[in-house]
Chains A and B, each alone.
Chain A
Amino acid sequence: ACGNSEDGSASGAEKSTLRYGHSAPPTDPGGVIADKIAADTAEATGGEVAIEVFPSGQLGGEVEIVEQLRSGSVDMAFVTGGALSNFVPDIAVLDMPFLFDDLDHAKKVLNGEVGNQIKEKAAEEGFQILGFYDYGEGHLANTKQEIKEPGDLKGLQMRTLENDIFMDTFKALGADPVPMPFPEVYSAIQQGVVDGTDPVNVAMIGGKLFEVTDYYTEISLNYRSGILLMNKDKFDGLEEETKTELETVVQDSIDHYHSVVYPEYEESVKETLTENDVKIVPIEDVDREAFVEAVQPVYEQHEARFGDLIERIQNEK
Chain B
Amino acid sequence: MWSKSIRALNKGTENFTMILLVIMVLLVFFQIVSRAMFSTSFSWTNELARYMMVWLAFLGGGIAFQHNAHIGIEAIVERFSVRWQKFIQLAVMVICISFFIILIVTGLEFTTSSMTQSSPALNIPMGLVYLALPISGILQILNVVDLNLNYFKSKETESER
Contact = CB atoms under 8 A, between A and B. Distances in A.
Q: Real complex partners, A and B?
A: yes
B118 interface: yes
B140 to A, nearest CB: 23
Contact of B117 (A86, A176, A180, A181): A86
A38 interface: no
Contact of A178 (B41, B117, B119, B120): B41
B117 A162 contact: no
A162 B44 contact: yes
B121 interface: yes
Contact of A71 (B35, B113, B126): B113
A250 B131 CA distance: 38
Interface in B33-55: 35, 39-44, 46-47
Contacts of A67: 114, 117
A63 B121 CA distance: 13
A63 B42 CA distance: 21
Contacts of A161: 120
Contacts of B40: 176
A179 interface: yes
A162 B121 contact: yes
A176 B41 contact: yes
A89 interface: yes
Contacts, number: 47
A179 B41 contact: yes
A157 interface: yes
B116 interface: yes
A86 B119 contact: yes
A180 B46 CA distance: 8
Given A162-B44, A167-B43, A179-B43, A125 B116 contact: yes
Nearest to A175: B39
B102 to A, nearest CB: 15
A43 interface: no
Given A71-B110, A157-B39, A163-B43, A179 B117 contact: no
Interface string A80-112: 001000110100000000000000000000000
A276 B41 CA distance: 31
B46 A162 contact: yes
Query: Interface residues of A toward B: which range?
Result: 20 to 34
Interface in A27-86: 63, 67, 70-71, 82, 86
A251 B40 CA distance: 45
A132 to B, nearest CB: 21
A127 to B, nearest CB: 11
Nearest to B123: A164
Contacts of A179: 41-43, 46, 121
A157 B35 contact: yes
Nearest to A66: B117
A89 B123 CA distance: 10
Interface string B106-143: 00001001101111110000100000000000000000
Contacts of B41: 167, 176-179
A176 B118 contact: no
A191 to B, nearest CB: 13
Contacts of B116: 87, 125
A155 interface: yes
Contacts of B121: 162-164, 179
Interface string A143-156: 00000000000010
Given A70-B113, A163-B43, A89 B35 contact: no
A123 to B, nearest CB: 13
A189 to B, nearest CB: 15
Contacts of A176: 35, 39-41
Interface of B: 35, 39-44, 46-47, 110, 113-114, 116-121, 126
23 contacts: A63-B120, A67-B117, A71-B113, A86-B117, A86-B126, A87-B116, A89-B118, A157-B35, A161-B120, A162-B43, A162-B46, A162-B120, A163-B43, A164-B121, A167-B41, A176-B35, A176-B39, A176-B40, A178-B41, A179-B41, A179-B42, A179-B43, A179-B121
Closest 4 pairs (CB-CB, A-B): A162-B121, A176-B39, A178-B41, A162-B43
Interface of A: 63, 67, 70-71, 82, 86-87, 89, 125, 155, 157, 161-164, 167, 176-181
